[in-house]
Structure 1
Amino acid sequence: MTGQTARTASLCACGGMAVRRVNQFVLQDELWWDSEFSCGSCDTHLCEHAGPGPAPDHVREALLAAHGPARLRLAGAVPSPVPALKVLREVTAASLSRARDLVGELSRDGLVGTLPEMEFLMVRLRARGVPVDIDRPPGPGAASGAAGPS
């Protein structure tokens, strides 16, 4: 599994420029994210969050800006949509109607997200017999010149 890291500049309460570092990765069969904040001006260092669950929009946006989106696509025929529906409902807590929409997207253009999100889904879908592959982003920083993994 792949993890991703992005750094963004933030203004610290002291008035100095700080760095916020966000990460998303799979750990113990769960999708995790964390966020750290550090300011060299006042020597503040904080762990803002570390744990499993869906990443908030600001974390996802930073990762997508730094690394570009990954696209999860069907790689073969699927005799029944039921296994994919089950996985998408389990992973996203989507309603049956929303899960059907997601399966439709998967079968057409594919689902788009961060690479860790798409790899997390890929493992679960393949375990249920759904053939999927990921179109990976071109490489760290390709989308915006942002910092890559450290």
Structure 2
Amino acid sequence: MQIADRGRLRWEFNWSCSNCGIESDDGDWGQAPGFIRDLLLAEHGSSCIKVVDPDASGAKIMKVFRDIFGESMQEAMNSTRGLKAGGHSGTHVEVRLIAEKLDASGIRVQSCGPE
């Protein structure tokens, strides 16, 4: 599972093996590892948002991507360009958190539909 808590992403992955009895409760703050994120997308689908105002502050958008995903400046710049050009897709939790943080910065977004 993936949750947003106090403006941060958190993921958890719980599993057990009935054959050997091993159980695991893994989790951490930040973006979920690729295999967990892929499972979430496969099971629940994705969400997509785009910026309503194409002249919205790129610096504010970059800050949101850096804060949520720990992106480098170049990665945040690329994410910002994508969000402004055609939209950004991700898990429902990721997209909702991005939208909330952008809204708090005065940047409005709208859904661009599921992918």
Classify the TM-score, shorter chain. 0.7 to 0.9
Structure with higher Rg: it is 1
2:82 equivalent in structure 1: 105
Contact 1:67 1:137 (8 Å CA) reproduced:
no
Distance 2:103 2:83 in 1: 13
Query: More helix by proportion, 1 or 2?
Result: 2
Contact 1:70 1:137 (8 Å CA) reproduced:
yes
Corresponding residue SS for 1:55? coil
Corresponding residue SS for 1:54? coil
* Ranges in structure 1 where 5+ consecutive residues have no aligned partner: 1-22, 139-150
* Aligned amino acid, residue 40 of structure 2: L
* Ranges in structure 2 where 5+ consecutive residues have no aligned partner: none
Instruction: Let me know the Cα RMSD of the aligned residues.
Output: 2.1
What TM-score results when the alignment is normalised by the length of structure 2?
Answer: 0.84
* Percent identity for Structure 1 against Structure 2: 27
User: Which structure has the higher relative contact order (CA within 8 Å, separation 6+)?
Assistant: 2
Distance 1:30 1:95 in 2: 17
2:68 to 83, 91, 111: 91
| CA shift in 2, pair 1:85/1:37, >3 Å | same
Query: More strand by proportion, 1 or 2?
Result: 1
